[in-house]
Amino acid sequence: MTKMELEKYLLQSLNMALGSLMQGETSYTNSFDCQVMEEGFLFLPRLPAGYIIDDNLYQKIFLIANASLYPRYTLLKQNTAYFVPINTEDIHVQRGLFFPWKNGISERLIISDLEQFASSINNMIIPIMKNLSMDYDKVTSIAIAGNSGSGKSYTLTYFLSVLKNISDLIIMDPKFDTPSRWARENSIPVIHPQQNRSKSDFVSEINEKLSYCMNTIQKRQAILYDNPDHKFTHLTIVIDEVLALSEGVNKNIKDSFFSLLSQISLLGRATKVHLLLVSQRFDHSSIPVSVREQANVLIQVGNINNKTTQFLFPDLDPEGIVIPIGKGTGLIQIIDNEHPYQVLPLLCPTYSTKRGIL
């Protein structure tokens, strides 16, 4: 399809769907036009107009165009209307609404041998989907959220398998479940509950380990002070089901836990110390707000609606985002200088692992 044909197709789609919303004004009455660009398309209203150009109109156009362009393009959802100036002296068409897109749709990675695949990663680039990877050097913290049965453990196991070759791991597993079995198979120590110990005692042990990590950060900061280019080995603190740690524990111990998490998330990036947190939800009772705000890789798996996305993606209305059905699907946002800041549909890699882990 040529650029001209795509513009004609988009105009036809918008004319047919926007008629009632815009009091019958269409491109046939010269009320607006469309222009296809490499990174998206422009909706060009001709002003003065008999319709209101606001967030509501922008989101309506998004819904129409996203469905019309699927699966050739995936529109990148914006929180508000995205205005751009047009290089012209004609005041009637000096602005447009921009709708950025990416080519194609999200596609799963199919991995036949996870161990071999993970060992082949000899740099810090971690593949997430076809045409989507993240640079672990630019990661502060990773947050994975989802209800029971949504694929959190499946997603976490993929990250653990990849990270073990590029980072030291400290694993904390309050449920004594999948991460513990994975750690046993890979000979990595794990902190988990033990019989005849209280929950407060268990969280105290975790606080001791987090305190050790803070000492590591401070030592590394001293090294960076004299040598800003020093390269450290990555250290990743993995906590499965954070909500299980923060609920029903002594207040002083919980406050210490929250304080240590906050300090690590705020100070860890430059010293290559990361958090990988998994929880059913990330409200203020599970982790401090500052920790959630510092995370720059956000993953929500399972059922996607306004209620489930309110903590990781508080400004996002997921309406219109096409998310395939299946386990390990959801939304992802990678916030760095290489990725668009928009939220993308996520399909976690498909892989096989040793029997008895998952």
Give yes or no: residues 137 and 279 share one domain: yes
The range of the structural domain enclosing residue 40 comes to 3-103
Q: What pLDDT, on a 0 to 100 scale, did the predictor assign at position 338? A: 76
pLDDT-based confidence at residue 223 (cuts at 50, 70, 90)? very high
**Token pair for 135:** 């640079």
Which residues make beta-bridge pairs with 58?
Answer: none
C-beta separation of 78 from 320 below 8 A: no
Give yes or no: residues 98 and 9 share one domain: yes
pTM of the model: 0.91
pLDDT, one tens digit per residue, over 303-342 is 999 999 999 999 898 998 988 888 889 999 999 887 767 8
pLDDT, one tens digit per residue, over 152-206 is 999 999 999 999 999 999 999 999 999 999 999 999 999 999 888 888 899 999 9
DSSP one-letter code for 28: G
CATH at residue 271? 3.40.50.300
Phi-psi region of 261 (alpha: psi -120 to 50; beta: other; left: phi over 0): alpha
Which residues make beta-bridge pairs with 33?
Answer: 44
Q: What pLDDT, on a 0 to 100 scale, did the predictor assign at position 247? A: 81
Whether residue 358 lies inside any domain: the answer is: no
DSSP one-letter code for 148: T
Give yes or no: residues 267 and 137 share one domain: yes
Domain boundary among 78, 103, 128: 103
The structural domain count of the chain equals 2
Give yes or no: residues 28 and 99 share one domain: yes
**Token pair for 285:** 């009772």
Domain boundary among 103, 136, 158: 103
Give yes or no: residues 171 and 299 share one domain: yes
Domain boundary among 103, 136, 171: 103
